[in-house]
Amino acid sequence: MIKVGVAGVGFMSWIHYLAYQKVRGVKLAAICSRDAKKRAGDWRGIQGNFGPPGEQIDASKMQAYADVDELINDPEIDLIDNCLPPHMHADVSIRALKAGKHVFVEKPMALTAAECNKMVAAADKAGKQILVGHVLPYFPEYAHARKVIDSGKYGQLIGGSFKRVISDPLWLKDFYDPKRVGGPLVDLHVHDAHFIRLLFGMPTAVFSQGRMRGEVVEYCNTLFQFADPSLVVNATSGVINQQGRPFTHAYEIHLEKATLHFDFAAFSDAAELMPLKIVTKSGKVLRPNLGDGDPVRGFEGEIKEVVRSVRSGKPSDILAGELARDAIALCHKQSESVKRGRLVKV
């Protein structure tokens, strides 16, 4: 049984908590929060942009710490689930690795590629794993796309178009601070940067055009170049200042013999879904059954992969720190391209 200690109690901790209840081989054994009410199990004030609101949980069988170093040094804990704010990811993760713990850190892995490199190096030195909470590949539409691509049934990948846009997250006061949250690319687009890296490999260059807000890119369109010039990949990412359009994510992935199409959009009055379709070269439209649509399901898949990776000692092909580091590096290369107004080599 892998015993987990969660550092930081907020929305992502709550979602992870729900997932831990449904995954075998893992137990949430400790929590860490500066808030005495949360340490006592009162999570009713937690609310996010999906999933159920927080509840009163039974914390009587868990250790509760106010100081993260006490959590890290608990000899009963095997893995630290780092759900602290992004600017704390690198420091706390490295301290946990040095203390002999595996680390599962929420995305973004860190705010810079240099910090990510230090985290990977610390894991290597400690002989422990650094796993990063890039849950997108476990959402049904994205997991099924990977399954179809890996099957080879419709030939090789030839490109794709990805979209992730939100309205201004007014409740996040540090969202545009490059030293605390990182801005729309590092905090939001990093999902698609990671997925693009996973599917197509590491780009050789990026060209991005967009708008700035202070020191960070607010919104941009990016063309990704690869060693294989036949791959055509682009992404639209960031914030559009229209509060009636709170969230949208979508993709169109091109294979030699089929196109995969998915689109979800939330509006202020309702959400609209265009479910995943596989449009074949012969003209057929296939509509896979992807389950009940529970958004927590993806996190269950993610936690199962963490358990498998730690128990087997074989690092995850999806949650590995090196892959997450590459996604952060891509985000910063895109920012550089916007600022310089030209193609930037990766």
Q: What angle do CA 189, 91, 238 make, to 5 degrees?
A: 15
pLDDT at residue 292 in the model? 85
Model confidence at 295: pLDDT above 90: no
Chain-centroid distance of CA 302 in Å reads: 10
List, in order of start, the domains of the chain with CATH numbers: 2-134+300-320 (3.40.50.720), 137-291+327-345 (3.30.360.10)
Please report, rounded to a whole number, the percentage of residues in the chain having pLDDT higher than 90: 93
pLDDT value of residue 48: 74
Q: What pLDDT is recorded for position 69?
A: 97
- Over residues 12-47, the pLDDT tens digits come to 999 999 999 999 999 999 999 999 999 999 999 897
Q: Are 165 and 245 in contact (CB under 8 A)?
A: yes
Of 126, 106, 30, 108, the closest CA to residue 73 belongs to 30
For the segment 236-241, the average pLDDT, to the nearest whole number, is 96
Q: Residue 201's pLDDT is what?
A: 98
Separation between Cα atoms, residue 131 and residue 121, nearest integer Å: 13
How far is residue 41 from each of residues 125, 171, 202, 210, 271, measured CA to CA in Å?
36, 24, 43, 43, 32
pLDDT band at 293 (very low <50, low <70, confident <90, very high): confident
Q: What is the mean pLDDT of residues 127-155?
A: 98
